[in-house]
Structure 1
Amino acid sequence: MPREGARFAGSRVLVTGGAHGIGRACARWLAGEGARVAVADLDLAAATEVVTALDSTESGGEHRGDQPAEHLAVELDVTDDDSVRAAVAAAADHLGGLDVLVNVAGGDVEHPDFEHTGDDVWAWTLELNLMSVVRCTRAAMPHLRRSTLSPAVVSVTSVNALAALGSEPYSTAKLGIVALTRNLGAELGPAGIRVNAVAPGTVRTRVWDSQEGGAERMLPLYPLGRVGEPDDIAAAVAFLASREAGWITGHTLPVDGGLLTGHRHL
């Protein structure tokens, strides 16, 4: 059930990359505050599991098949414009419109040093991390323009965009989101649409499972003494999407456990 005093009661939200990790936490957090959520992901089976859990929670643990689902799972390939447009249209149709877009989908791939990284890696990384936000935001714009519930876009970038932390293709793509956020914040402000971003530090998600030492090996970089959890990022996303952030736009908020403050230790 939505939390008492839910900030997103009546809001219709689309979360890309919503089946796992940060995206899943955002979907659960926003639904917990009253939003109806479309969970969009290339992994449709996992997105469906998220939605089933959300619907079950709101019905007291027992979702009846003859009742329309409050939330929606939709397949989405953020590197394909046709898939993006179809997913956004399906979300808006099911929810009756869109008030908030949360761009989470993205990722990195192992590659050699800068000198030996080819154009194919650069192109793929830019497509997945930057152009995905362009496509999803562009497709959502007509629906957001019709919203009367403080429409907002919140994108997940990375502290890699704000400091020299390696992985040049990924860092460059994530910095592109910062520039896009700043420009769209200025362009769409007169229409009442706010555009912001969150820049996470190390967050304990499945991408660390196969790496030696896991996320914990990054602990020395964090003045607050721990790595992040998906809910740390979801909480910041929810704030920037809410009316409480009604006078904030074009901003990128680091949620990094003090990493950037303590960057001298890197």
Structure 2
Amino acid sequence: MADTKRFEGYGVVVTGAARGIGAAVARRLAEEGARVLVTDVDPPEAEKTATALREQGLAAEALACDVGDLASVEAAVAHAVHAFGSLDVLVNCAASCTPDTPLFEDGPDDAWARDLDITLTGTYRCCRAALPHLAASGRGAVVNIGSVNALQDFGNHAYSAAKAGLVSLTRTMAAHVAARGVRVNLVVPGTVRTSAWEGRDDELEAMRALYPLGRVGEPADIAAAVAFLASRDAAWVTGTSLTVDGGVTAVNTGFLTATRQNRDA
């Protein structure tokens, strides 16, 4: 459990918070004193996450929210403001990632549209709904969850394009809302051990060699970065993308390995 209480009295909404990174973010902010609304398109799982937090004496509620539906988003924001008295932090974790087809030209329009709508436009919807309340709080902060897919080719064309769009949206929104006292930042995770990798332990183990720090990420690694950017410790930070990826985008491990093997031959 976090030792500090940087979010005492804060009202927080986390999207895509039923499991994985979103659940870890909800936990971290609640541990630091926040009242957290755990939102997700999977209401039973969202309730499980919120219940687990409450059982530890933390302040959490769950609510169904589909970031692809404006009415659902507005209802979640209104619920948080009513329940907590304010909305101080919005963390956009919800995303959609459709596997690529073997041939690029076979990719269906509906899969492309869904990934962009949930991952990029969904974040846009949530920011629009939350902004007046974040501005009113006097300490409002938005933290978006991006991906190293925005920086390099790790597959998943539509998801990657949407995450790249979040980099731009974070930057431009930060500039537009700075005068209203709201900060907007982005965390860029590398591979994180979540339910998306369930049953693929061999792949995760193989990836360890590609990460200079010798392991893939854990949801708590990303939650720690989110907590920093959402807190007053980052009071002079806005419009930035914080890469939390174990060094995978800093070093071409495969290239270095190949060249070293060639020298040693």
What TM-score, normalized by structure 2, do the two folds share? 0.92
Partner residue in 2 for 1:6: 5
| 2:163 maps to 1:174 | yes
Following TM superposition, the consecutive aligned residue runs of length 4 or more in structure 1 with deviations greater than 6 angstroms are none
Partner residue in 2 for 1:91: 80
| 2:96 maps to 1:107 | yes
- Give the Cα–Cα distance (whole angstroms) in 2 for the partners of residues 41 and 125 of structure 1: 16
| 2:139 maps to 1:140 | no
Q: 1:223 to 1:4 in 2, by over 3 A?
A: closer
Shift of 1:4: 4.6
Contact 1:74/1:91, CA 8 A, preserved across alignment = no
- Give the Cα–Cα distance (whole angstroms) in 2 for the partners of residues 220 and 179 of structure 1: 31
**RMSD between superposed Cα atoms in Å:** 1.5
Task: Name the SS of the counterpart of 1:38 in structure 2.
Answer: strand
Partner residue in 1 for 2:148: 159
Partner residue in 2 for 1:242: 231
Superposition map of 1:113-124 within 5 A: 113-124=103-114
Shift of 1:55: 1.6
Match of 1:204 among 183, 190, 193: 193
Partner residue in 2 for 1:63: none
Superposition map of 1:53-68 within 5 A: 53-58=52-57
- Give the Cα–Cα distance (whole angstroms) in 1 for the partners of residues 49 and 158 of structure 2: 31
Shift of 1:211: 3.8
Percent identity over the alignment is 50
Task: Name the SS of the counterpart of 1:107 in structure 2.
Answer: coil
Task: Name the SS of the counterpart of 2:56 in structure 1.
Answer: helix
- The gaps in structure 1 that reach 5 residues or longer are 60-69
Partner residue in 2 for 1:233: 222
Letter in 2 for 1:263: N
Q: Deviations over 1:132-156 (max 9, x none)?
A: 10011111111111102x2100010
- Give the Cα–Cα distance (whole angstroms) in 2 for the partners of residues 246 and 147 of structure 1: 14
Superposition map of 1:26-45 within 5 A: 26-45=25-44
Letter in 2 for 1:55: R
Q: Choose 170-179 or 209-218, whichever is displaced more.
A: 209-218
Number of aligned residue pairs: give it. 254
Contact 1:111/1:121, CA 8 A, preserved across alignment = no
Shift of 1:49: 1.4
Partner residue in 2 for 1:25: 24
Partner residue in 2 for 1:255: 244
- Give the Cα–Cα distance (whole angstroms) in 1 for the partners of residues 183 and 252 of structure 2: 30
Letter in 2 for 1:13: V
Shift of 1:180: 0.1
Superposition map of 1:183-198 within 5 A: 183-198=172-187
Contact 1:198/1:237, CA 8 A, preserved across alignment = yes
- Give the Cα–Cα distance (whole angstroms) in 2 for the partners of residues 46 and 54 of structure 1: 13
Partner residue in 2 for 1:130: 120
Contact 2:149/2:163, CA 8 A, preserved across alignment = yes
Shift of 1:91: 1.6
Q: 1:257 to 1:212 in 2, by over 3 A?
A: closer
Q: Choose 79-88 or 171-180, whichever is displaced more.
A: 79-88
- Give the Cα–Cα distance (whole angstroms) in 2 for the partners of residues 154 and 124 of structure 1: 22
Shift of 1:191: 0.7
Contact 2:98/2:156, CA 8 A, preserved across alignment = no
- The gaps in structure 2 that reach 5 residues or longer are 256-265
Letter in 2 for 1:85: E
Task: Name the SS of the counterpart of 1:101 in structure 2.
Answer: strand
Q: Deviations over 1:214-251 (max 9, x none)?
A: 42232222010000000000000000000010101000
